[in-house]
Chain A
């Protein structure tokens, strides 16, 4: 495995993010761009909460029978003239894709947006094989120009401001007139559209992800607003679908249930502009469409997740509502999380995929405010799953020594109510005495993380239990 990540440096990443004014300015768009729209879309559909239940149940049912639905799906893809490839690891998936590209002599590949592609670091593998990948989603295109990773699974460049994008375009599109006006975001879009239109027509292979796979018909589904995914898969000779095994749903009816919650949760749209159902290659009589249709099914640790308490995470449909509503994500952005999947869903998924020893900070970097769970379209109990990771870390002695010893000390007293009352009465009395002039402390040993920026209220004096007992005695 060659996964590149900086998750172990989460704290340092977060520190940098908090001191990056451009990033902080851009992050304001997360709150203003998503939350009210989702609320409005949900409120407009009286059945929305029932659909969330339905979506959860469909995914649970599919996961419990995943092997059988995969068999059915594979048979249907094959019957439609497509090819299904199984990739146990990220390396396997990249190799399958690059092998197909080599076999058909591909020079350039047009890519629709795919988080699986990020997960397996496909672009690096393609480039190593002499194939030029071209990201065609506007956000992913910008990311590729900058040599970055998306900082959000739906809005890849949510961390950028338009002036940054403008300077990237001026740097890369050096054949265009230098004096052109790129100030308005419309002109940035128009320029990207012009540049990419040529690339679509040149590409030999198109690669897309899949939002869902349908067992009933062997269909892959992509959901986009730009139409880039459709151009990527319609114009080149070969279409490769990259999908992980948990994208499966049983039927077109089930897919329709999922689609009713996806766009509303993601962007607050009733439905995305383009929802495209693809089944196999060009048919007899077709005048367009790909001649070859391949599906690469990635496992990469997911089959193991089915076994335990993290199975629920496999319901995730990548809508990003969790990160859109997360106060930690709002504060530090997606890159701080240090790998492909940021925010609450990433805090649960990343430890499964790259190891809790590396992604251990992520499930801890949550206030457990529960807002993510309250908006999750498939009702994944994200805080509970993060807590399960904390339990694993605790069991494996991976949590920080200060936390462990602090908890041990606290637990020692908390388990012994009499000793606790005695000790706390004395300690609080002393602290109250120290803090009585101001009523609060500007610094406290062991609580520097707090008192660096916040005062800490001093105790009133005697504990409640002591005062209550004294009052009862008097009565």
Chain B
């Protein structure tokens, strides 16, 4: 079924992303919670990786295999939603590129890509959500992750929903739309440059005077959290979905699990 003729209670396949799956499952639950709040049914088909690390490292064959795997796994859903602009961008924008010139596969890839959305844009732009029932006492600053911002236009939507969170104030940092230096394998391959970039970002985050840093991509969040924590800066780091789903009291990224 195409997105255009979606039923009253659409079936959404949650593409958790591998980082959320492995490192921070709570983001997956926050996303599922929000999608349900938006009047959808959530399913989690078996999944691994969107293929972006392979794609961006020049390994098209693996990227294709993983794309086809995702296309098959998410066949029966109305939408594919990922709590990541980067993975959603891969599935929505780059998967079709992988099959250009192959009519059958291309058609399947295009149909799949049309169903894919980044979480917050799905909530706001597709489901028309204008507010959430959540409370978070504190000042937050929001980092625009690059792929979400430039490939998918994620910019106003998260801020709009954050403004509806009770007790929450947004303090914009300088250059919120400038890269944090993560860049996937770049952060390891060119660690020194990556660090120089995230150091600037960390300065901007701290200067914003917010107690919490939010973004929509776990990779960027782990990078920024890792830098802030190594430097002992008093800023907690969370995925935006956690705050929107009212899970802002759980341990932040890189913090020890409670009660242990």
Residues of A within 8 A of B (CB): 11, 14-15, 18, 327-328, 330-332, 364-371, 373-374, 387, 389-395, 399-400, 403, 406-407, 410-411, 413-418, 420-421, 424, 427-428, 432, 436-440, 442, 446-465, 467-469
Given the interface contacts A457-B23, A460-B23, A465-B46, does A399 sit within 8 Å of B58 by beta carbon? yes
Partner-binding segment picked from B5-13, B130-138, B184-192 = B184-192
B20 and A464 within 8 A (CB): yes
B178 and A327 within 8 A (CB): yes
Could you say which residues of chain B place their CB within 8 Å of the CB of A424? 21-22
A415 and B56 within 8 A (CB): no
Could you say which residues of chain A place their CB within 8 Å of the CB of B187? 449-450
**Which of chain B's residues 1-31 have a Cβ closer than 8 Å to chain A?**
16, 18, 20-29
A453 and B191 within 8 A (CB): yes
Total residue contacts A-B, CB cutoff 8 A: 228
Given the interface contacts A387-B58, A440-B254, A457-B226, does A367 sit within 8 Å of B181 by beta carbon? yes
B222 at the interface (CB under 8 A from A): yes
B66 at the interface (CB under 8 A from A): yes
A370 and B146 within 8 A (CB): yes
A331 and B197 within 8 A (CB): yes
Question: How far, in whole Å, are A282 and B64 apart by their CA atoms in the complex?
Answer: 61
Given the interface contacts A15-B192, A418-B46, A447-B188, does A464 sit within 8 Å of B16 by beta carbon? yes
Question: How far, in whole Å, are A446 and B185 apart by their CA atoms in the complex?
Answer: 12
Question: How far, in whole Å, are A148 and B27 apart by their CA atoms in the complex?
Answer: 51
Can you list 11 residue pairs at the A/B interface with Cβ under 8 Å? A364-B189, A368-B184, A392-B58, A407-B53, A407-B54, A415-B69, A452-B195, A454-B195, A455-B254, A457-B24, A464-B27
Nearest B residue to A325 via CB reads B178
Question: How far, in whole Å, are A240 and B189 apart by their CA atoms in the complex?
Answer: 44
Cβ-neighbour of A459 out of B23, B65, B178, B251 (below 8 A): B23
A366 and B254 within 8 A (CB): no
B198 at the interface (CB under 8 A from A): yes
| B96 CB to nearest chain A CB (Å) | 13
Cβ-neighbour of B21 out of A331, A407, A440, A463 (below 8 A): A463
B75 at the interface (CB under 8 A from A): no
B151 at the interface (CB under 8 A from A): yes
Given the interface contacts A403-B189, A407-B59, does A328 sit within 8 Å of B46 by beta carbon? no
Could you say which residues of chain A place their CB within 8 Å of the CB of B150? 369-371, 373-374
Question: How far, in whole Å, are A467 and B26 apart by their CA atoms in the complex?
Answer: 10
B142 at the interface (CB under 8 A from A): no
B108 at the interface (CB under 8 A from A): no
Residues of B within 8 A of A (CB): 16, 18, 20-29, 32, 44, 46-49, 51, 53-60, 62, 65-66, 69, 73, 146-147, 150-151, 177-179, 181-198, 200, 222-223, 225-227, 229-230, 251, 253-257, 260
A449 and B188 within 8 A (CB): yes
Given the interface contacts A391-B60, A407-B57, A468-B28, does A18 sit within 8 Å of B21 by beta carbon? no
Question: How far, in whole Å, are A452 and B63 apart by their CA atoms in the complex?
Answer: 30
Given the interface contacts A369-B183, A454-B230, A460-B257, does A415 sit within 8 Å of B65 by beta carbon? yes
Cβ-neighbour of A387 out of B16, B49, B56, B226 (below 8 A): B56
Given the interface contacts A18-B193, A328-B197, A464-B21, does A391 sit within 8 Å of B253 by beta carbon? no
8 additional contacts (CB under 8 A) given A394-B57, A456-B226: A365-B193, A367-B182, A415-B66, A439-B257, A454-B195, A461-B25, A467-B28, A468-B25
Could you say which residues of chain B place their CB within 8 Å of the CB of A453? 191-192, 195, 227, 230
Could you say which residues of chain A place their CB within 8 Å of the CB of B181? 327, 367
For the residues of A in contact with B, the DSSP-based class is: helix
A459 and B22 within 8 A (CB): yes
A455 and B225 within 8 A (CB): yes
A414 and B46 within 8 A (CB): no
Could you say which residues of chain B place their CB within 8 Å of the CB of A394? 57-60
Could you say which residues of chain A place their CB within 8 Å of the CB of B47? 417, 465
Question: How far, in whole Å, are A77 and B33 apart by their CA atoms in the complex?
Answer: 69
A421 and B146 within 8 A (CB): no
B251 and A439 within 8 A (CB): yes
Could you say which residues of chain B place their CB within 8 Å of the CB of A446? 188
Nearest B residue to A374 via CB reads B150
B183 and A439 within 8 A (CB): no
B257 and A465 within 8 A (CB): no
| A84 CB to nearest chain B CB (Å) | 39
Question: How far, in whole Å, are A324 and B226 apart by their CA atoms in the complex?
Answer: 27
Could you say which residues of chain B place their CB within 8 Å of the CB of A371? 146, 150, 177-179
Question: How far, in whole Å, are A11 and B55 apart by their CA atoms in the complex?
Answer: 23
B188 and A450 within 8 A (CB): yes
Question: How far, in whole Å, are A437 and B255 apart by their CA atoms in the complex?
Answer: 9
Could you say which residues of chain B place their CB within 8 Å of the CB of A403? 57, 185, 189
Question: How far, in whole Å, are A11 and B195 apart by their CA atoms in the complex?
Answer: 13
Cβ-neighbour of B179 out of A327, A373, A420, A449 (below 8 A): A327
Question: How far, in whole Å, are A240 and B194 apart by their CA atoms in the complex?
Answer: 43
Would you list the 7 A-B pairs with minimal beta carbon distance, nearest first? Answer: A449-B191, A367-B183, A394-B58, A454-B226, A390-B58, A464-B25, A369-B179
Could you say which residues of chain A place their CB within 8 Å of the CB of B177? 371
